Amino acid sequence: MITVFVPRDSAAVSVGADEVAAAIQREAGDAVRVVRNGSRGMLWLEPLVEVVTERGRIGYGPVSPAAVPGLIEAGMLAGADHELCHGVVDELPWMAEQQRLCFARVGVIDPLSTDDYEAHGGLRGLRTALERDPAAVVAEVTESGLRGRGGAGFPAGIKWKTVLDAQGPLKFVCCNADEGDSGTFADRMLMEGDPFCLIEGMTIAAHAVGASEGYIYIRSEYPDAVSTMRRAIDIAYAHGWLGENILGSDTSFDLFVRVGAGAYICGEETSMLESLEGKRGMVRSKPPIPAITGLFGKPTVVNNVLTLASVPAILADGGSAYAELGVDRSRGTQVFQLAGNIARGGVFETAFGITLGELVDGYGGGTRSGRPVRAVQVGGPLGSYVPAGQFGLPMDYEAFAEAEAMLGHGGIVVFDDTVDMAAMARFAMEFCAEESCGKCTPCRVGAVRGVEVIDKITGGDDRDGNLALLNDLCELMTDGSLCAMGGLTPNPVRSALNHFPDDFSSGAATQKEAT
């Protein structure tokens, strides 16, 4: 029996993986076992078909359903050479040069196979954690230097310690899987490709802080991640990985999936908590912090998917091993996501410190359109635009902050030289106006005024006066907003203005169209 892997990841499915899997099964019949794995993260090769051979897993991609009969005739099932053949997938530079901790199993295993999970190192972290005192588990996470991967980069160990020290019979662990930032998709890929890893990470967190109940808040735009996580949770209960006395220990933990309803703001932690309570996703003022007064007023750990999914490896191999990777105060690995107008887009997990240029020009291969890169937006819709001239920047939280940019969740969106940066600045304000929760005035009203004032600038209406007004407005939004939505929207606006002022002169867009 030959084993063939065809991803079930929704990005692979979006370009025909289901049809390819069906075609292979139809053409090869009982001779093959088709396993639907997660994606390896080389999204430009999707659908990437892998055939298990003595040499290793041989990859073919991108495979269209129509190409399947020809590939099988050419000997794909024996790993034969072909113009779509890339050789042994693990030996490709893209794969071999990564340091995959979080994503170690994604694309490798059948996401819902507990045997696969354990055979590839799963549960080692949880078993280690359950043998230790909660405080020792928190200390291990603190030693690792792990910082929140959702964007803010707050040290996870300190957050956990606060919840551990908070008194109360009921505590929660909440996973923020409301991955709304454009250019980020690693949370989705992990949930679809290795859901047990997130369950394991959350269970370790529950043991560490004394929580008995957990929620994974997944955005409704990710229906495949929702169904995979729900199935994985059912399987985990059946295996004693969740519920009462987990793996024979004293720890009990119940885990639930909750689905968002199309509100970007619910990626902000307090808004997510409101939403989990069944309310409008209105941002709360901080303090009190969620670690002390969180979900339903109880002490609550709120962490991003990748933060929690990094925890099993930290417990399995030790916090110091994790801390050896990375630079300065950015320890361990980050899952970078190459997106937008890029030749080779996907997920690249490596230690902090790699430069922006190595990722975009090197691994990413520049733009998909073949035109020069003009700007990249790092860290989602609230992140700054960085010009190609700053590609020497190392990917770490502090270096980016110093350059008035933001690493965020590690998403990098590439634009070629046809981009109109004034239009992108206007879109940032438009997006903020659309998605603001409306609680604070700088964000709710400021974003609407921002769109208007940018229109006046590009329309040539008192340009200098309106530029001054825009700067004023940005300063007010930064200083006066309740949360990052209004507070960081000026990032893309100001960076576009600083690096690409010519785009804001009247008639710039029409001139661009003419060229």
Partner 1 sequence: MAVESAGASVAERVRAVVEAHRDERGALLPILHGIQAEFGYIDPEVVPILAAELNLSRADVHGVVTFYSDFRSEPAGAATVRLCRAEACQSVGAEKLVADAEQVFGVKLGQTTPDGSVTLQQVFCLGNCALGPAAQINGRMYGRLDRTRLVEILAKGAEA
Binds partner 1 (CB under 8 A): choice among 97, 256, 329, 462: 256
What Cα–Cα distance (Å) separates residue 481 from each residue in 290, 444, 474, 496, 500?
A: 19, 9, 10, 21, 26
Q: What are phi and psi of 490, to 5 degrees?
A: -60, -20
- Interface with partner 1 includes 368 (CB under 8 A)? yes
Residue 66: which of 23, 36, 8 has the closest Cα?
Answer: 23
Q: Which two tokens stand for residue 188?
A: 């989705």
- Interface with partner 1 includes 296 (CB under 8 A)? yes
Nearest distance from C-beta of residue 369 to partner 1, angstroms:
8
Nearest distance from C-beta of residue 60 to partner 1, angstroms:
18
Rg of the chain (C-alpha set) = 24
- Interface with partner 1 includes 261 (CB under 8 A)? yes
Q: Which two tokens stand for residue 234?
A: 């059912």
- Interface with partner 1 includes 144 (CB under 8 A)? no
Nearest distance from C-beta of residue 157 to partner 1, angstroms:
28
Q: How many residues does the chain have?
A: 515
- Interface with partner 1 includes 146 (CB under 8 A)? no
Rounded to an integer, what distance in angstroms lies between the CA atom of residue 141 and that of residue 1? 43
- Interface with partner 1 includes 509 (CB under 8 A)? no
DSSP class of residue 348 equals E
- Interface with partner 1 includes 44 (CB under 8 A)? yes
Contacts with partner 1: how many residues (CB under 8 A)? 61
Rounded to an integer, what distance in angstroms lies between the CA atom of residue 420 and that of residue 48? 34
- Interface with partner 1 includes 10 (CB under 8 A)? yes
Name the segment binding partner 1 (CB under 8 A); options: 11-19, 99-107, 142-150, 474-482: 11-19
Q: Are 500 and 375 in contact (CB under 8 A)?
A: yes
Binds partner 1 (CB under 8 A): choice among 416, 429, 457, 504: 416
- Interface with partner 1 includes 338 (CB under 8 A)? yes
- Interface with partner 1 includes 372 (CB under 8 A)? no
For partner 1, the closer CB: 117 or 415: 415
Half-sphere exposure of 151 (CA within 13 A, CB side): 27
- Binding pattern for the stretch 418-457 against partner 1, x by CB under 8 A and - elsewhere: -x----x--x---x--xx----------------------
For residue 38, the tally of other CB atoms under 10 A from its CB is 27
Nearest distance from C-beta of residue 120 to partner 1, angstroms:
24
DSSP class of residue 293 equals S
- Interface with partner 1 includes 411 (CB under 8 A)? yes
For partner 1, the closer CB: 142 or 176: 176
Nearest distance from C-beta of residue 183 to partner 1, angstroms:
5
- Interface with partner 1 includes 181 (CB under 8 A)? yes
For partner 1, the closer CB: 24 or 378: 378
Binds partner 1 (CB under 8 A): choice among 415, 421, 422, 433: 415
Helix, strand, coil percentages for the chain (3-state, nearest 5): 45, 15, 35
Q: Which two tokens stand for residue 447?
A: 């974003």
Q: Are 39 and 11 in contact (CB under 8 A)?
A: yes
Nearest distance from C-beta of residue 428 to partner 1, angstroms:
9
Residue 190: which of 97, 98, 309, 100 has the closest Cα?
Answer: 309
Binds partner 1 (CB under 8 A): choice among 164, 259, 272, 302: 259
What Cα–Cα distance (Å) separates residue 50 from each residue in 190, 245, 438?
A: 19, 39, 48
- Interface with partner 1 includes 198 (CB under 8 A)? no
Rounded to an integer, what distance in angstroms lies between the CA atom of residue 122 and that of residue 127? 10
Nearest distance from C-beta of residue 436 to partner 1, angstroms:
12
- Interface with partner 1 includes 388 (CB under 8 A)? no
Q: What is the DSSP string of 457-488?
A: HHTTSSHHHHHHHHHHHHHHHHHH-SSHHHHH
- Interface with partner 1 includes 180 (CB under 8 A)? yes
- Interface with partner 1 includes 278 (CB under 8 A)? yes
Bridge partners for 51 per DSSP: 4, 58
Q: Which residues in this chain contact partner 1 in the complex, by CB under 8 A?
A: 10-11, 13-15, 43-44, 46, 179-185, 187-188, 220-224, 256, 258-264, 275-281, 296, 337-342, 345-346, 368-369, 377, 381, 411, 413-416, 419, 424, 427, 431, 434-435
